[in-house]
Chain A
Amino acid sequence: MYAQMIKSEATQEDPEKLAAFQARIDAGEKIEPKDWMPQGYRKTLIRQIGQHAHSEIVGQLPEGNWITRAPTLERKAILLAKVQDEAGHGLYLYCAAETLGVTRDELTEMLLDGRMKYSSIFNYPTLTWADMGAVGWLVDGAAIMNQVPLQRTSFGPYSRAMIRICKEESFHQRQGYDIMMKMANGTPAQKKMAQDALNRFWYPSLMMFGPSDKESVHSEQSMAWKIKMNTNDELRQKFVDQTVPQAEYLGLTVPDENLKWNEETGHYDFSQPDWSEFFDVLKGNGPCNRERLAARNKAWDDGKWVRDGLLAHAEKKAARRVAAE
Chain B
Amino acid sequence: MTRDMAFFEFLLRMGDNTLVLGHRVSEWCGHAPVLEEDIALANTALDLIGQTQMWLGLAGEVEGQGRSADDLAMLRDAWDFRNVLLAEQPNGDFGQTMMRQYLFDQAHVLLLEKLAGSSDERVAAIAAKSVKEVAYHVERSRDTVIGLGDGTSESHRRMQAALDLLWPYAGEMFTDDEVSGIMAGEGIAPEPSSLRAAWDAAVQQTMSEATLVIPDSDFAHAGGKTGFRHTEHLGHMLTQMQWLQRAYPGARW
Which A residues form the contact surface with B (CB < 8 A)? 57, 60-61, 64, 67-77, 80-81, 83-84, 87-88, 90-91, 94, 104, 129, 179, 182, 186-187, 189-190, 295, 298-300, 302-314, 316
Contact = CB atoms under 8 A, between A and B. Distances in A.
A80 B32 contact: no
Nearest to A88: B39
Contacts of A80: 26, 29, 42, 45-46, 49
Interface stretch (B4-12, B68-76, B125-133, B184-192): B68-76
Given A68-B240, A73-B52, A83-B29, A186 B70 contact: no
Given A84-B46, A129-B244, A309 B151 contact: yes
Contacts of A307: 33-34
Contact of B155 (A71, A84, A187, A312): A312
B245 interface: yes
Given A69-B240, A295-B30, 11 more contacts: A60-B30, A71-B251, A73-B19, A84-B46, A94-B35, A299-B31, A299-B33, A303-B34, A304-B33, A309-B148, A313-B148
A314 to B, nearest CB: 7
B154 A129 contact: no
A313 B155 CA distance: 10
B23 interface: yes
A303 B155 CA distance: 11
Contacts of B45: 80
A306 B46 contact: no
Nearest to B157: A305
B34 A71 contact: no
Contacts of A190: 248, 251
Contact of A68 (B23, B34, B36, B43): B23
A305 B154 contact: yes
B152 interface: yes
Contacts of A311: 151
Contact of B248 (A64, A187, A300): A187
Interface size class on chain B is 35 or more
B226 interface: no
A94 B38 CA distance: 15
Contacts of A83: 29-30, 42
Contact of B73 (A73, A312, A313): A73
Contacts of A179: 253
Contacts of A88: 39
Give the secondary structure class of B's interface.
helix
A295 B32 CA distance: 10
Contacts of B147: 309-310, 313-314
Contacts of B244: 69-71, 129
B161 interface: no
Contacts of B253: 71-72, 75, 129, 179, 182, 186
B27 interface: yes
B31 to A, nearest CB: 5
Given A83-B42, A129-B244, A295 B31 contact: yes
Interface in B113-160: 144, 146-148, 150-152, 154-156, 158
Contact of A306 (B34, B240, B241, B250): B34
Contact of A84 (B39, B148, B240, B245): B39
A305 B39 CA distance: 19
A293 B166 CA distance: 32
A83 B25 CA distance: 14
A69 B252 CA distance: 15
A187 B251 contact: yes
A84 B31 contact: no
Contacts of A316: 150
* Residue among A69, A302, A306 with max Cβ neighbours from chain B (10 Å): A306
B41 to A, nearest CB: 9
A186 B154 contact: no
A217 B130 CA distance: 56
Contacts of B56: 73
8 contacts: A57-B35, A76-B26, A91-B35, A186-B251, A295-B30, A308-B154, A309-B147, A310-B144
Interface in B154-194: 154-156, 158
Given A87-B42, A88-B39, A61 B151 contact: no
B94 A302 contact: yes
Nearest to B155: A309
A291 to B, nearest CB: 12
Nearest to B43: A84
* Residue among B35, B39, B53, B252 with max Cβ neighbours from chain A (10 Å): B35
A303 B53 contact: no
A312 B148 CA distance: 9
A91 B39 CA distance: 10
Given A77-B46, A91-B39, A303 B94 contact: yes
